[in-house]
Amino acid sequence: MTEFLDREHDASYTKDYKETTPDILKAFGDLNDAVFAPEGREIPLKYRELIALAVGISTQCPYCIDGHSKNAVKAGATKTELAEAAWVATAIKAGGAYTHGRLGFKFSGVHDHAE
């Protein structure tokens, strides 16, 4: 997936959002600014950035991983905290696969039949 990440040129595609949906782009920017405001939130910025990193890993967003890992370190996160955030994402992703696997039994009907 990282072959799609091009820090030098990818931002140029933001102009398409600016041309077509500037109001939504602004609202998204305002939301992002509020969520990651350095002050005024109950959860410290470092932890919000580590949460964002774990979500980015889970959703496999290279831009989120890039930005939030750097922002987490700037906010004071350590290498161990980055590793633990990655493991949290791994556990949640694996747990989701496990529980969705149970839906295979439910939807298929094999659970309802004696073996």
Helix or strand run (H / E) with residue 2: none
Give yes or no for residue 96 having a pLDDT over 80: yes
Q: Tell me if 10 is assigned to some domain.
A: no
Which amino acid makes up residue 39? E
Give yes or no for residue 8 having a pLDDT over 70: yes
Q: Tell me if 99 is assigned to some domain.
A: yes
DSSP state of 4: G
pLDDT at site 113 = 75
Q: Sign of torsion, CA 93 86 61 39?
A: positive
Query: What CA–CA distance (Å, rounded) separates 61 from 19?
Result: 24
Enclosing domain of residue 99: 42-112
Q: Tell me if 35 is assigned to some domain.
A: no
CATH code assigned at 108? 1.20.1290.10
Per-residue pLDDT of 62-92, as tens digits, reads 999 999 999 999 999 999 999 999 999 999 9
Query: What CA–CA distance (Å, rounded) separates 72 from 43?
Result: 13
pLDDT at site 2 = 58
